[in-house]
Amino acid sequence: MNEARRVGVFGGTFDPIHCGHIDIGRAAESALGLSRVFLIPASVPPHRAQPYASEFHRFAMVAMSAAGRRGWRASDLELREDADTPSYTSGTLRRFHERGYSSSELFFVIGADAFTEIASWKDYPEILDRAHFAVVSRPGYSVVELPARLPLLARRMVRAPVDQLTQVDPVIILIDAQAADVSSTDIRQRRAHGQSIAGMVELGVQQHIEQHGLYLSMIPGRRASDRTPGPAAGRLHDQG
């Protein structure tokens, strides 16, 4: 394997990006010696309700989180797709291949909680051949339990650290690391109730959320399609 081209691909709704996301990215970077980590906000997530914050705000928060971290980049790869087109991981990985990256050079970074639903993803199981999957423990979802949770995939799983990883064919790499017990849902609900989110997101992200009044108008329990955006939401850089 070309050690100089270990590229992390970390996608998500990032509504907002929080300290748990950063912990997952850092754990994968450390365990795998990644030379670059791309943070890729989804435009239209296919498996969950539509985002509350606009794509412009979500990209700005991701860019703030990537800034100052060597090798980390915020990517608008999925945001440049048609607004009504779901952001499928299989399509994102295909676009990386079109840019010259091989499957053995790509490491799709994901939390163990999300990976348990991999069988419902578009192009499963072929998607597992398009990149290594770097699966990181999340509170309540230890990677140690994944072989039992997903027995059909157990033979493809290897435990980190993998300094001597030589497989050309993609594998599922299990990374048992600590990640902050925080979720985007918790953050949005705390904002909706006027509670502090200090320590749940990085300081720059917290300031951006507060400056633009994000998530204040969200009413817990309402469907995303029924919500009314707050006055500041969706207006970053004059974007409506």
- Find the radius of gyration of the CA atoms of the chain: 18
Boundaries of domain holding 160 = 3-175
Per-residue pLDDT of 81-124, as tens digits, reads: 766 677 899 999 999 999 999 999 999 999 999 999 999 999 99
In a domain, 48, yes or no: yes
CB atoms near residue 74 (< 10 Å)? 21
Per-residue pLDDT of 139-180, as tens digits, reads: 999 999 999 999 999 999 999 876 656 556 899 999 999 999
Give the Cα separation of 178 and 140 in Å (integer): 11
Give the Cα separation of 81 and 218 in Å (integer): 26
pLDDT value of position 43: 86
User: Which whole number is the average pLDDT over 179-202?
Assistant: 96
In a domain, 236, yes or no: no
Specify the amino acid at residue 235.
R
Give the Cα separation of 160 and 65 in Å (integer): 25
In a domain, 45, yes or no: yes
Do 72 and 171 share a structural domain? yes
pLDDT value of position 68: 85
pLDDT value of position 62: 98
Do 32 and 80 share a structural domain? yes
Do 8 and 80 share a structural domain? yes
Q: What percent of the chain has pLDDT over 70?
A: 83
Do 63 and 39 share a structural domain? yes
Do 141 and 102 share a structural domain? yes
**CATH, residue 40:** 3.40.50.620
pLDDT value of position 225: 36
pLDDT value of position 221: 39
Do 220 and 103 share a structural domain? no
User: Which whole number is the average pLDDT over 3-11?
Assistant: 85
pLDDT exceeds 60 at position 233: no
Predicted TM-score (pTM) of this structure: 0.86
Do 130 and 33 share a structural domain? yes
Do 164 and 188 share a structural domain? no
36-40, 163-167, 232-236: the lowest-pLDDT one:
232-236
Q: Which regions of 152-234 does DSSP assign to beta strands (E)?
A: 157-159, 172-175
Do 198 and 223 share a structural domain? yes
- Give pairs for 218-226: CB < 8 Å, separation 24+: 218/52, 218/188, 218/189, 218/191, 218/192, 219/192, 220/189, 220/192, 220/193, 223/49, 224/49, 224/50, 224/51, 224/52, 225/49, 225/50
User: Which whole number is the average pLDDT over 21-40?
Assistant: 97
In a domain, 237, yes or no: no
Do 208 and 99 share a structural domain? no
Q: pLDDT confidence of 223, banded at 50, 70, 90?
A: very low
In a domain, 131, yes or no: yes
Number of domains observed in the structure of the chain: 2
- Name the average pLDDT for the chain: 87
In a domain, 107, yes or no: yes
The more confident residue out of 220 and 209 is: 209
User: Which whole number is the average pLDDT over 45-64?
Assistant: 88
Do 213 and 151 share a structural domain? no
Do 87 and 36 share a structural domain? yes
In a domain, 211, yes or no: yes
Domain boundary among 175, 196, 216: 175
